[in-house]
Amino acid sequence: MTASGFQELAIAALLVVLAAFIPMLSDGYWLSIAVTAMMYIALSTSWVLFSGPTHYISLASGAFFGVGGYLVATGMSDYDLSFWLMAAAAPVVATILAALIGLATLRLSGVYFVIFTLGLAEMIRNIVSWVQNNFLGSRGLYVLTDFTEAHIYWMLLGITAAVYLLGWFVNRSRIGFALRIIGNDETVARHVGINTATPKVILFMTTGFFAALVGAVIAPRYSYIEPNQVFSPELSFLVVIMALLGGSGRLWGPVVGVIPFTLVWEFVAVQFPNQTTLFIGLVFLLIVYGLPHGVVGRLEQLAASVRERRNA
Amino acid sequence: MDILVSGLLLAGTYALMAMGLNLQYGVARIMNLANGEMLVLGALAAFWLFVTYQVSPMLTLFIVAPVSFAGNWLIYRIFLRPLVRRSKSQGQLEVDSILATFGMSFALVGIMVSIHGEYFTYKYLSEPITLLGTTVALNRFVAFLVAVLIAGALYLWLNRTRPGVAVRAVAVDTEAAGLVGINVPRISAIAFAIGGAVTSVGGSLISTFITLDASIGVIFTMKALIIVIMGGVGDIRGAIVAAIILGLVETAVATLIDPGLTLAAAYLIFLAVLLFRPQGIFGRRAT
């Protein structure tokens, strides 16, 4: 292990500690933005865990997030189960779902995987609505807890820290090394004897686990839950945008993308509520044509050229 | 029997839009996820011209096709060609084109919502006719006939003319096609543009019997993708068979179980294809 690796970990720890004080300093509007931002940081960091090294664009976040939120709501509303039990069970269900999806699609080319995840949230929403309308009686679900925004914020921060720590270990493990080789060239990876499917499926399961956990934890914030609201395809795209905007080459890249994007997004959503879709489209185009490696990639490029000039 | 007839009629337009996507992905190597938005644009044009100027959707096709051809040609030249140049491998191009076309799809939805945020509802040829003992709306039948006509013409063009052969050559191997003197960038742009035009025309046709709205494109993108993958990339025959299967299954699920589950049914087919025949219905397994 290199010193720079531990240095990175120490900086991350310091940031987590600092971030933990945010609820003390602000409340109301800014805290609610902080909760949203923290939610996206957790989601996009766990997205980068899988999609960063492999370059497989997963649009399944919305589906897993929905599974998390919906299971918590069903369990608490219909079966009087505790929040903690459901928050623990939901990620397990999502992990199994991710394993099935991974086994079916990740053995094939990346395009099939993207396409499959593209409609996933919508399909699960259709099935859930159908089951709810026909067998459970159509009514909304309530998630009533004593959590305040600050509690939710701290839980999300905890999840983010856990994701980061896990990612840090994965990057320095055999499986992370295998994933990087797969991402660079899958044929080469197969030829040097890497079982290409297994690491991909395992990492995809991890992403599913955390996305569902975030969905479960954030559920109390909405109190009233219906399938149309938690299974939102838009969420998957927002996660992808923020992760790519920051830069998916580094585990801490998403943080750099989430914070400015959340602020601008809030502004756009309030000022031009009808133009949010157009805005998402333009940011996607900006990323592809202007920032192919994200803000972090651009900064590293600049740093490299400065170093070169100094050495010359 | 009802299911069979309406399923087949639906399959006609599905086959058309899948052919469009097939040209874009199979020949120009662009995984175009804004394909559904091209379809909705065609539908919007048909709706708007019919409501404001009472232009028959069948006449609108003659406006939609060239406009969409030109628009898609420009999109390819301006946005996608630089990505093709920049990418070092097919995988890189796929990721880039997926992201870029996502951007376009969102931007187009945003623009269409601001043009017309409501459903595209209009009545055109909605009188019932009797076909093989079942009653269907005339518009479905007309849309089917036009779709078959266009698909047939496209098939003949691809198989019987010189430019058609060039397009198929690029589909088989980009580099080899370049070596035998085919202008690959030009053929790719043309294939992409024709693909877009065919899809938009399909949208105008569909809008006569299904009520669409500005944000429904992604559902049609999914359907077209499932058909293309089921049929095998670049395989027109396979796409037609796949479109018929999807049309029949969707109609069966919608009539027998619940119309809300058609996407789930499409997914089930998709899953079966991925598990058992990822190379397509007529495709040979790669060794």
d(CA A166, CA A164): 5
Residue B264 lies in a domain: no
- pLDDT of B207 reads 87
Residue B259 lies in a domain: no
CB-based contact, B215 to chain A, within 8 Å = yes
**Residue length of chain B:** 287
Q: Do B270 and A55 touch (CB under 8 A)?
A: no
Assign B256 a pLDDT band (cuts: 50, 70, 90). confident
d(CA A270, CA A263): 11
Residue B228 lies in a domain: no
- Name residues whose C-beta falls within 8 Å of residue B122's C-beta, 6 or more positions apart in sequence: B47, B50, B51, B207
pLDDT tens for A121-166 read 888 888 888 888 777 765 677 777 778 888 888 888 889 989 888 9
CA A278 to chain B, closest CA, distance in angstroms equals 4
Interface subset of B 252-271, CB within 8 angstroms of A: 258, 260-261, 263-264, 266-267, 270-271
pLDDT tens for B50-87 read 888 888 888 888 888 899 999 999 999 988 888 888 88
Q: A-B interface: how many C-beta pairs under 8 angstroms?
A: 118
Query: What is the separation of C-alpha A179 from the centre of its chain, rounded to a whole number of angstroms?
Result: 18
Residues of chain A whose C-beta is under 8 A from some C-beta in B?
Answer: 55, 57, 104-105, 108, 110-112, 114-116, 118-119, 122-123, 126-127, 129-130, 134, 185-186, 233, 237, 244, 274-285, 287-289, 292
d(CA A55, CA A240): 12
d(CA A70, CA A200): 26
pLDDT tens for B165-203 read 888 888 888 888 888 888 888 889 999 999 999 999 999
Locus of tokens 């996507």: B21
Number of independent structural domains in chain B: 1
Q: What is the DSSP letter of A275?
A: G
Q: Is there a contact between A290 and B79 (Cβ–Cβ < 8 Å)?
A: no
Residue-number span of the structural domain to which B15 is assigned: 2-215
Q: Which residue of B lies nearest to A186 if distances are taken between CA atoms?
A: B91
d(CA B95, CA B80): 12
**Residue length of chain A:** 312
- pLDDT of B104 reads 92
- Name residues whose C-beta falls within 8 Å of residue A91's C-beta, 6 or more positions apart in sequence: A68, A208, A209, A210, A212, A213, A216
Of the residues B25, B267, B268, the best mutation for testing chain A's interface (the one with the most A CB atoms within 10 Å of its CB) is B267
- pLDDT of A3 reads 66
Q: b/e map of B248-259 (b: 16 or more CB within 10 Å)?
A: bbbbbbbeeebe
Residue B248 lies in a domain: no
**How many alpha carbons lie under 13 Å from residue A252 in its C-beta half-sphere?**
12
- Name residues whose C-beta falls within 8 Å of residue A292's C-beta, 6 or more positions apart in sequence: B96
Q: Is there a contact between A69 and A219 (Cβ–Cβ < 8 Å)?
A: yes
- pLDDT of B287 reads 40
pLDDT tens for A26-55 read 778 888 888 888 899 999 999 988 888 888
d(CA B140, CA B233): 27
- pLDDT of A271 reads 86
By DSSP bridging, strand A224-225 and strand B128-131 are: unpaired
Q: What is the overall mean pLDDT for chain B?
A: 85
Q: Do B274 and A116 touch (CB under 8 A)?
A: yes
In this structure, the number of other CB atoms found within 10 A of the CB of residue A84 comes to: 11
Q: Do B264 and A123 touch (CB under 8 A)?
A: yes
Question: From the list A108, A126, A287, which residue is nearest B263 (CB)?
Answer: A126
Mean pLDDT in order along chain A per 10 residues (312 residues): 73 81 78 88 90 86 90 83 85 91 81 85 85 72 78 88 88 84 81 82 92 89 80 86 85 85 88 85 88 83 85 73
Residues β-bridged to residue B136: B129
Locus of tokens 């026909």: A134
- Name residues whose C-beta falls within 8 Å of residue A299's C-beta, 6 or more positions apart in sequence: none
d(CA A170, CA A172): 5
Q: What residue type is B12 in one-letter code?
A: G
Q: Which residue of A lies nearest to B215 if distances are taken between CA atoms?
A: A277
Assign B260 a pLDDT band (cuts: 50, 70, 90). confident
Interface subset of B 20-39, CB within 8 angstroms of A: 31, 33
pLDDT tens for B93-125 read 888 888 899 899 999 998 888 887 778 777 776
- pLDDT of B69 reads 92
Please give the share of chain B, as a percent, with pLDDT higher than 70: 98
- pLDDT of B135 reads 76
| SS3 track for chain B | CHHHHHHHHHHHHHHHHHHHHHHHHHHCCCCCCCHHHHHHHHHHHHHHHHHHHCCCHHHHHHHHHHHHHHHHHHHHHHHHHHHHHHCCCHHHHHHHHHHHHHHHHHHHHHHHHHHCCCCECCCCCCCEEEECCEEEEHHHHHHHHHHHHHHHHHHHHHHHCHHHHHHHHHHHCHHHHHHCCCCHHHHHHHHHHHHHHHHHHHHHHHCCCCCECCCCHHHHHHHHHHHHHHHCCCCHHHHHHHHHHHHHHHHHHHHHCCHHHHHHHHHHHHHHHHHHCCCCCCCCCCC
Q: Which of A107, A113, A58 is nearest to B276 (CA)?
A: A107
Question: From the list B94, B106, B278, which residue is nearest A108 (CB)?
Answer: B278
- pLDDT of A312 reads 67
- pLDDT of B210 reads 81
Phi-psi region of A15 (alpha: psi -120 to 50; beta: other; left: phi over 0): alpha
d(CA B75, CA B81): 9
In this structure, the number of other CB atoms found within 10 A of the CB of residue B149 comes to: 12
Residue B37 lies in a domain: yes
